[in-house]
């Protein structure tokens, strides 16, 4: 069974089409790159896959191993969607801890390890409102991976990162893929897509077209 299957999915917003008749299967253990112009519907596609917004027509089927019965949202998914959203008055660790408490799956040590993995100092007491854009982006990445999520949906994960950090995150994502994780990502940098993705899809005229 496919990890995620979209069957004849349509989505409109205020009578404007966003995605039309999308049918596609996403398999486990691969990196998928989704490209498209600004406002083409990449974020909407991700939100629908996560169950945050329902399709107007069609259906999205998630492998039952990633979806509890009666649940609306998949489990074991790590995401970066829209923007890195944090409580600016807390430090990075406390922000992640607030999210980790929801499921209580990981220890403080695992949160700190996730921060170190993306290049953040877990003992830094600086409030997030004083973080640079790159640090905020790294914090987003740490939140997406900290619970050892099996599926990562990353909207522009390389935004605002310096070249060294981009290298680190690329390596990290390739390691994850080699360990069987599935990754969806968008990037405006073609090099990220070329280097990382097994399949590349483009949203063009409300359709999802396979590019590679």
Partner 1 sequence: MSQIKNTVIYIVLCLLGVIFAASGAGGQTSTVWDRLYIVFFGFTEQRFFMDSFVYYCIIFLGFVYLFQTHLSIVLTERIYYQLIRYPSLYRWFWQFFRPVMLKGILLLTVLFCVTIIAGVWEGKSFSLTLMEVAGSSVPMLVYHFFINGFLQLMNYVLISFIVIWIWKKGEYSLITLGILMVLSLPILNQKLIFPSGLNSLGHVGGGENVIVQISIILLIYLLVELFIIYYLFKKRGVSL
Q: What CA–CA distances, in Å, run from 85 to 36, 113, 146?
A: 23, 20, 16
Q: Under a CB-based contact definition with an 8 Å cutoff, are residues 170 and 180 in contact? A: no
Residue where the block lists tokens 């890195």: 84
Task: Please name which of 47, 36, 34, 40 lies closest in space to residue 81, comparing C-alpha atoms.
Answer: 47
Q: Under a CB-based contact definition with an 8 Å cutoff, are residues 212 and 197 in contact? A: yes
Nearer to partner 1 (CB atom), residue 50 or residue 193: 50
The span of 43-51, 115-123, 177-185, 197-205 binding partner 1 (CB under 8 A) equals: 43-51
Nearer to partner 1 (CB atom), residue 83 or residue 116: 83
**94-113 binders of partner 1 (CB under 8 A):** 99, 102-103
Total site size for partner 1, rule CB under 8 A:
29
The residues that bridge with 183 in the sheet, in sequence order, are: 31, 152
Six token digits for residue 128: 């997030």
Taking the alpha carbons at both ends of the chain, their separation in whole angstroms is 22
**171-210 binders of partner 1 (CB under 8 A):** none
Min separation Cβ 212 and partner 1, Å: 28
Min separation Cβ 190 and partner 1, Å: 26
Nearer to partner 1 (CB atom), residue 91 or residue 200: 91
Given the DSSP bridges, would you call strands 151-155 and 31-35 parallel, antiparallel or unpaired? unpaired
Residue 89 touches partner 1, criterion: CB under 8 A? yes
Min separation Cβ 22 and partner 1, Å: 16
Query: Which of residues 25, 72, 116, 171 is near partner 1 by CB under 8 A?
Result: 72
The span of 21-29, 82-90, 184-192, 195-203 binding partner 1 (CB under 8 A) equals: 82-90
Query: Which of residues 26, 32, 86, 176 is near partner 1 by CB under 8 A?
Result: 86
Find the angle CA(137)-CA(120)-CA(156) to the nearest 5 degrees: 20
Six token digits for residue 136: 């905020």
Residues engaged in binding partner 1 (CB under 8 A): 13, 44, 47, 50-54, 68, 70-75, 77-79, 81-83, 85-87, 89, 99, 102-103, 143
């Amino acid at each position: 069974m496919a990890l995620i299957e979209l069957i004849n999915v349509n989505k409109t917003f205020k009578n404007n089409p966003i995605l039309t008749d999308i049918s596609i299967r996403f398999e486990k253990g691969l990196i998928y790159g989704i490209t498209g112009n600004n406002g083409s519907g990449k974020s909407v596609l991700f939100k629908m896959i996560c169950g945050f917004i329902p399709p107007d027509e069609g259906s999205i089927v998630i492998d039952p191993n990633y979806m509890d019965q009666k649940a609306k949202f998949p489990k074991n998914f790590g995401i970066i969607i829209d923007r890195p959203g944090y409580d600016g008055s807390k430090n990075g660790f406390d922000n992640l801890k607030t999210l980790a408490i929801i499921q209580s799956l990981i220890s403080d040590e695992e949160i700190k390890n996730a921060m170190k993995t993306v290049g953040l100092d877990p003992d830094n007491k600086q409030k997030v409102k004083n973080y640079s854009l790159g640090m905020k982006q790294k914090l987003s990445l740490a939140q997406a991976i900290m619970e050892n999520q099996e599926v990562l949906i990353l909207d522009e994960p390389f935004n605002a990162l310096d070249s060294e950090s981009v290298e680190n995150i690329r390596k990290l994502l390739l390691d994850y893929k080699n360990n069987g994780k599935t990754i969806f990502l968008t990037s405006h940098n073609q090099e990220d897509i070329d280097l990382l993705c097994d399949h590349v899809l483009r949203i063009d005229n409300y359709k999802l077209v396979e590019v590679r």
